[in-house]
């Protein structure tokens, strides 16, 4: 049977249910000889290790060698890394051949670097020199790290607005890296509501390799995003829109095989363009990976699209089917083993869809599971969004049982996808929380950079209908401590031995490229507690 589920219908259903239930510092420098036409898409770095970091750029060696064109000469691009912005002390250098076969992108692994060190890098093609980027390596594996700070973002849609949230993170000057939790690009022709602040390129839904390359190029041309990439390394994973809306292993809601061809072919070219244009470490098509930051933190970045079973509908008891999976068996085993054996205090999980239950109301599978099965309902309650972990209850129960049974503490899920802000306890059994089932992890969900949220999709004034829904969600789900559905922006996560804190910063106007951001809320997880608590002040830059 053809699925009609998508997140826009979830948002509308949520609103209906609510009615029933009731200051800049260090900025990236630019080389005086930087050649913008040759290096039009800027520079970037990513996936820092204690002794290495990925460096990225894209060159336009001839005017006709535009992104996705498939034409232009093969050229040799050199790169260099220095300890100072004047490049008086070059510590690593190399060259890479690129051409139309990889869309003239360059991705070099600069090795032999020192841990926890700020470096400067640039590229050269003949007489042209790129802008200078700034990056930073991870601490040594056994280092006692006092503090880490990460920008946390997701869901940046060009037609929906400007990327002032990226500018804010670039201007802070205190970040070790930026975690991008998915939907870095969007495949749509326009916005969710067909409103267009800025048109997409190409001006249609993207399907081919050339299309995906052009779309990545457009995003990398955004001045705010270029600035952030040139300032701090990214650690990114994909969600669905890097391919198509509500993607699963064999298809997507936004893919029609009868008119758009084979989904596997579309997925393959989308992934190819992503690996060409993003500074991520991958093994063939595998993007889930783990990065270590001394003894303080280990970060597991997940892929929750490539291996998942097809989504079920709202209220479908299929969420309890043990044959369905979100992670796939291999990735789940990898995640569990990493959490159990980690030598770091904080286990951070880069997670593209929300793990905490969002049920109406949450039920206990232990107590009410047989009754739910008799009624044909999900054992844990009716979920508003079975695209997230709610729709794959067996995988979630297995993961949370692993945390509980092995005494894994200080696990924090960092999540994007749903264009809203959340701070959650993650109980093993939400129906028995908090008296009979304690929290085994916590979760911070960042809002969207620009992608439409509840008030925009529903066409209602901000802070009206959404407030009703927020109140209802928290009343029914006691483990959800913060829910804000209307604002866009960026978050900052601080990690110390004493705790982790997430600050949410919200845009005044996403249609304004010069929009300011103001602090919204902060929540903290204290070491050893597995609970989130409201904090009255943000982290000082």
Give CA 259 to chain center in angstroms: 30
Task: Find all residues with CB under 8 Å of 259, minimum gap 6, and list them.
Answer: none
CATH number of the domain where residue 90 is located: 2.60.40.380
Q: Are residues 251 and 307 in the same domain?
A: yes
Instruction: List pLDDT tens digits, range 322-342.
Output: 999 999 999 999 999 999 999
Least confident range from 23-37, 66-80, 492-506, 519-533: namely 23-37
Same domain as 378, residue 261: yes
65 with 146, same domain: the answer is no
Residue that has been written with the tokens 């789900």 in this structure: 477
d(CA 471, CA 482): 10
pLDDT at 3 over 60: no
Per the structure block, which two tokens stand in for 427? 């109980």
- pLDDT given at position 114: 98
Does the residue 190 lie in any domain? yes
Percentage of the chain exceeding pLDDT 70? 91
Are 75 and 98 in contact by the 8 Å Cβ rule? The answer is: yes
Answer with the one of 131, 160, 195 that is the final residue of a domain: 131
In a domain, 35, yes or no: no
Residue 541 falls within a domain, yes or no?
A: no
Query: pLDDT tens across 214-256, in order?
Result: 999 999 999 999 999 999 999 999 999 999 999 999 999 999 9
- 131, 152, 182: which is the final residue of a domain? 131
Question: Quick one: pLDDT band at residue 372, thresholds 50, 70, 90?
Answer: low
* Among 30-34, 92-96, 372-376, the least confident range: 30-34
**Same domain, residue pair 390 and 324:** yes
> Is 85 inside a domain boundary?
yes
Any alpha helices (H) in 173-235, and if so which ranges? 209-220, 223-229
Instruction: Say if residue 446 is in the same domain as residue 331.
Output: yes
105 and 246 belong to one structural domain: no
| Phi (first) and psi of residue 426, to 5 degrees | -120, 90
Residue 1 within a domain: no
Of residues 476, 244, 486, the one with CA closest to residue 383: 476
Residue 30 reports pLDDT greater than 70? no
Pick from 166, 13, 11: which is nearest to 488 by CA? Answer: 166
Q: Phi then psi for 436, rounded to 5 degrees?
A: -110, -5
- What per-residue string of b and e applies to 14-30 under the rule 16 or more CB within 10 Å gives b? bbebbeeeeeeeeebbe
Q: 121: domain range?
A: 43-131
What is Dmax (Cα atoms) for the chain? 73
Over residues 261-274, mean pLDDT: 98
Give 195's pLDDT tier (boundaries 50, 70, 90). confident
130 and 80 in contact (C-beta within 8 Å)?
Answer: no
- Omega of the bond prior to 376 within 30 degrees of 0, cis? no
β partners of residue 95: 78
List 491's β-bridge partners, or say none. 152, 504
pLDDT for 282? 96
Residues 417/181, Cβ–Cβ less than 8 Å: yes
Q: Are residues 363 and 412 in the same domain?
A: yes
**Is residue 172 one of the residues assigned to a domain?**
yes
Among the residues of 342-483, which ranges form H helices?
365-375, 393-405, 454-458, 465-476
Residue 28 has pLDDT above 60, yes or no: no
**191 domain-assigned:** yes
Indicate whether 478 and 461 sit together in one domain.
yes
Q: Among the three residues 131, 162, 194, which one is the final residue of a domain in this structure?
A: 131
Q: Which long-range contacts (CB under 8 A, 24 or more apart) does 168-171 make?
A: 168/489, 168/490, 168/505, 168/517, 169/228, 169/231, 169/232, 169/490, 169/492, 170/27, 170/28, 170/224, 170/227, 170/228, 170/230, 170/231, 170/232, 171/23, 171/24, 171/25, 171/27
Residues 486 and 457 placed together within one structural domain of the fold: yes
Mean pLDDT, residues 496-520: 98
72-81, 107-116, 191-200, 347-356: segment of lowest average pLDDT: 191-200
How many structural domains is the chain composed of? 2
Whether residue 32 is contained in a domain is answered as: no
Same domain, 342 and 440: yes
CATH code of the domain containing 276: 3.60.21.70
The tokens of 370 are what? 């047989």
Query: Based on the domain organization, do 268 and 288 belong to the same domain?
Result: yes
Q: Assess whether 365 and 256 both reside in one domain.
A: yes
């Amino acid at each position: 049977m053809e699925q009609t589920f998508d997140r826009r219908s979830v948002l509308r259903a949520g609103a209906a249910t609510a009615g029933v239930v009731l200051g800049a510092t260090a900025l990236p420098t630019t080389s005086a000889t930087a050649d913008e036409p040759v290096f039009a898409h800027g520079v970037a770095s990513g996936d820092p290790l204690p002794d290495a970091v990925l460096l990225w750029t894209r060159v336009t060696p001839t005017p006709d060698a535009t992104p996705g064109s498939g034409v232009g000469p093969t050229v040799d691009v050199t790169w260099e890394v220095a300890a100072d912005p004047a490049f008086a002390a070059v510590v690593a250098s190399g060259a890479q051949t690129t051409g139309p076969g990889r869309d003239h992108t360059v991705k070099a692994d600069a090795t032999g670097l020192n841990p926890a060190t700020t470096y400067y890098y640039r590229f050269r093609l003949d007489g042209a020199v790129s802008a200078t980027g700034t990056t930073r390596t991870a601490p040594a594996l056994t280092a006692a790290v006092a503090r880490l700070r990460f920008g946390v973002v997701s869901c940046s849609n060009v037609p929906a607005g400007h990327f002032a949230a990226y500018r804010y993170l670039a201007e802070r000057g205190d970040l070790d890296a930026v975690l991008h939790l998915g939907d870095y690009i969007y495949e749509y022709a326009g916005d969710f509501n067909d409103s267009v602040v800025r048109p997409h390129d190409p001006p249609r839904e993207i399907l081919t390799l050339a299309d995906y390359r052009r779309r990545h190029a457009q995003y990398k041309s955004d001045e705010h995003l270029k600035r952030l990439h040139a300032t701090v390394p990214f650690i990114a994973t994909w969600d669905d829109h890097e391919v198509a809306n509500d993607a699963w292993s064999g298809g997507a809601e936004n893919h029609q095989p009868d008119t758009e061809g084979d989904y596997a072919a579309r997925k393959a070219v989308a992934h190819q363009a992503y690996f060409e244009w993003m500074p991520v470490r991958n093994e063939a098509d595998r993007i889930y990976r783990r990065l270590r930051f001394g003894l303080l933190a280990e970060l597991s970045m997940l892929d929750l699209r490539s291996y998942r079973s097809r989504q079920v509908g709202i209220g479908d008891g299929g969420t309890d089917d043990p044959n369905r999976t979100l992670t796939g068996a291999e990735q789940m085993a990898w995640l569990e083993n990493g959490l159990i054996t980690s030598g770091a205090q904080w286990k951070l999980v880069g997670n593209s869809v929300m793990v905490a239950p969002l049920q109406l109301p949450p039920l206990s599978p232990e107590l009410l599971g047989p009754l739910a099965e008799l009624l044909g309902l999900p054992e844990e309650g009716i979920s508003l969004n079975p695209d997230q972990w709610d729709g794959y209850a067996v995988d979630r129960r297995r993961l949370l049982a692993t945390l509980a049974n092995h005494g894994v503490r200080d696990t924090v899920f960092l999540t994007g996808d749903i264009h809203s802000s959340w701070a959650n306890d993650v109980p093993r059994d939400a129906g028995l929380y908090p008296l009979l089932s304690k929290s085994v992890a916590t979760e911070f969900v960042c809002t969207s950079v620009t992608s439409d949220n509840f008030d925009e999709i529903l066409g209602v004034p901000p802070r009206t209908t959404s407030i009703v829904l927020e109140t209802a969600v928290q009343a029914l789900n006691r483990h959800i401590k913060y829910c804000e559905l209307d604002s866009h922006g960026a978050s900052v996560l601080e990690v110390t031995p004493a705790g982790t804190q997430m600050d949410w910063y919200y845009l005044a106007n996403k249609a304004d490229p010069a929009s300011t951001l103001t602090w919204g809320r902060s929540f903290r997880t204290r070491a050893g507690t597995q609970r989130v608590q409201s904090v009255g002040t943000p982290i000082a830059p």
